[in-house]
Amino acid sequence: MKREFSAGGVVVRRTGGRSEMAVISPRRGVLALPKGHPEEGETLEQAATREVLEETGLAAEPIERLGQVRYWYTLGGERVLKGVTFFLFDYLSGNIEDHDDEVESASWVPLREAPRLLSFRGEREMAAKALERSGP
């Protein structure tokens, strides 16, 4: 069994009296949170901050650790246990159109709708935790 670790971010901003969350679409039909593997020497929080910037084009400040999502997948016939640690971020600046080529698109969605819009159960749970902490 192989293990992998990644870090990701739930970026929240308030606009017009409501909270919004940044999401990415890595491929058609999938709505997800920005995440990726730490580079050598990076902490999970630093990796999450970098991945948020790369995949959404947004500069954001980490507020707190939200939790970890764990799941299994198969790569080349080998089972891999993956753990992704997610952090809650406060939006600082940037344009969501400025994401990198790793994702098809990035967008803002209402935070209150995010727990049902995201494609993966664990990420929906992270969005629900962000909603609890940030409010509608």
What CATH number is attached to the domain comprising 99? 3.90.79.10
- pTM, rounded to two decimals: 0.93
**pLDDT of 57:** 96
User: HSE-up of 86 (CA within 13 Å, CB side)?
Assistant: 22
Report the chain's mean pLDDT, rounded to a whole number: 95
Strands, E assignment, the chain: 2-15, 18-25, 35-36, 58-75, 78-94, 105-110
Quote the number of domains for the chain: 1
For residue 23, give its domain range. Answer: 2-134
- Average pLDDT for 58-71: 96
pLDDT band at 136 (very low <50, low <70, confident <90, very high): low
